[in-house]
Chain A
Amino acid sequence: MRELEFQGINSIGIVVIISIFVGAVITIQTDYNIESPLLPRYLIGVGVRDMLLLEFSSTMVALILAGKVGSSIASELGTMRITEQIDALEIMGVNSASFLILPKIISTMFFFPLLTILSLIVGMSGGYAVALISDVSSPQEYVYGLQYVFYPHYFTYALKKMIVFAFIITTISAYHGYYAEGSSLEVGKSSTRAVVHSSIVILMFNLILTKLILR
């Protein structure tokens, strides 16, 4: 439960804030790019939905979480390593890697897909708010667009990606934190390395998974 709170529940705020603004901005930009009067306005809703589903709510949110959760995991474990808390666990006969890292992996793989769903809902709501307060599209057209030719496959694709990204973020960050050595300066460096490496691997796996799943 503690890990669920630290890695998941505490990330709800940032995911909500970013998703609502990104949803709103995508709505405005899609409207800006639809110049032809022949194209129906509900396509804005379709565009927002697919962009959130296919890329933002999984990959972009994962990159954000790599920064927030990844650095938190690396610095927590790094601090435990340099202050000998991990040695203290080992002395007590505890398998420290399993004891400290496994709950984090389980909690992120369970909770991050929920954050993806939350990001989708909030992002689409952000677009709806823009439709309400501006003239980019009528709310009815926007909602119609959200529902138009919906492929459930996109939804499972986003969730599958997020489960893999959660595993990547947690394991890479935990690795860098667990094997930190030296001073508090090293904890900072390991935290930075965790975010950079997680982000790069997420982008690589985004390409691989997209090629594998969206054939």
Chain B
Amino acid sequence: MLDDISISFEKGKTNLIIGKSGSGKTVLLKSIVGLHEVDEGTILFDDRDFTGMNFKQKKQVRKEFGMLFQGAALFDSFTVEENVRYPLDMFTDMSHEEKMERTNFCLHRVDMDKSNHFFPAELSGGMRKRVGIARAIALNPRYLFCDEPNSGLDPQTAIRIDKLIKEITAEFDITTIVNTHDMNSVMEIGDKVVFIYEGIKCWEGTRDDILSAENQYLNDFVFATNLAKTVKLIQNKKHNQGAG
């Protein structure tokens, strides 16, 4: 599925993995967090070899992870409050009051105050994503992973989620890795962008480089929509006029 991929992600920045559906983005992200075993190679978290660790050692490193899944993956039978508190119950010795304080802080941070006693089924897609982010940051993670955070959301809600991810990354100095095929997200929050095509890393750069990249596969992906094609056409015209 994935072949010969070597990437380093930058601390305190939103690192984006982009590519079309089925290109291997989710497999790559799940391999990084250890949900898929890799056949060969190493995954390093600040020089700690994650691939060579046993279950207990991995559990220690995973305390530093926060992950937002594509469908938020909130536990259906738990309330919003219980979902966000769950990592604290699992990993900390905090008192109930401290846990509640942290839970309420995280919910407040994602603008989901007063939703403590709702069940996930009672929330909209965007609200679920925000609760998912609150749960992901509950343990003050060093690494935040987001798998298609905007899928199934309207453009305004998608921008809101993007901004939230960007703000949280900067605020807590987290290494954030986001899987997306949404070009709006790329232009909005992509500090570093990695393009995956059929399981291979095809291109790597910043969001400023992406519009002028020479890679054919990347261009096919980036300029797939009519809007993007028109922008590209106007850019080329201006460039040609400037040259003429």
Chain B positions within 8 Å of A, measured between CB atoms, are 30, 33-35, 55, 58-59, 62-63, 65, 67, 69-71, 73-77, 86-87, 90-91
Q: Are B58 and A93 in contact (CB under 8 A)?
A: yes
Q: Are A84 and B69 in contact (CB under 8 A)?
A: yes
Nearest chain B CB to A169's CB is how many angstroms away?
21
Q: Helix, strand, loop or mixed for chain A's interface?
A: helix
Q: Are A93 and B69 in contact (CB under 8 A)?
A: no
Q: Are B58 and A88 in contact (CB under 8 A)?
A: no
Q: Are B75 and A91 in contact (CB under 8 A)?
A: no
Residues of A within 8 Å of B55, CB to CB, are 95
A/B interface sample: 12 pairs, CB < 8 A: A79-B76, A85-B73, A85-B74, A85-B75, A85-B76, A91-B35, A91-B62, A92-B90, A92-B91, A93-B59, A93-B62, A94-B90
Q: Are B71 and A84 in contact (CB under 8 A)?
A: yes
Q: Is A140 interfacial (CB-CB < 8 Å)?
A: no
Which residue of the partner chain, among A79, A85, A92, contacts B62 with CB atoms under 8 Å? A92
The docked-state distance in angstroms from the alpha carbon of A79 to that of B55 is: 25
Number of residues of chain A lying within 8 A (CB) of chain B: 14
The docked-state distance in angstroms from the alpha carbon of A154 to that of B178 is: 62
Segment 93-114 of A: residues with Cβ below 8 Å from B = 93-95
Residues of B within 8 Å of A87, CB to CB, are 30, 35, 69, 73
Residues of B within 8 Å of A91, CB to CB, are 33, 35, 62, 65, 67
Q: Are B91 and A88 in contact (CB under 8 A)?
A: no
The docked-state distance in angstroms from the alpha carbon of A92 to that of B33 is: 10
Q: Which 10 A-B pairs have the closest CB atoms?
A: A93-B59, A84-B73, A88-B73, A84-B69, A93-B62, A91-B67, A85-B73, A83-B71, A87-B35, A92-B90
Residues of A within 8 Å of B63, CB to CB, are 93
The docked-state distance in angstroms from the alpha carbon of A95 to that of B55 is: 9
Residues of B within 8 Å of A85, CB to CB, are 73-76
Residues of A within 8 Å of B77, CB to CB, are 2
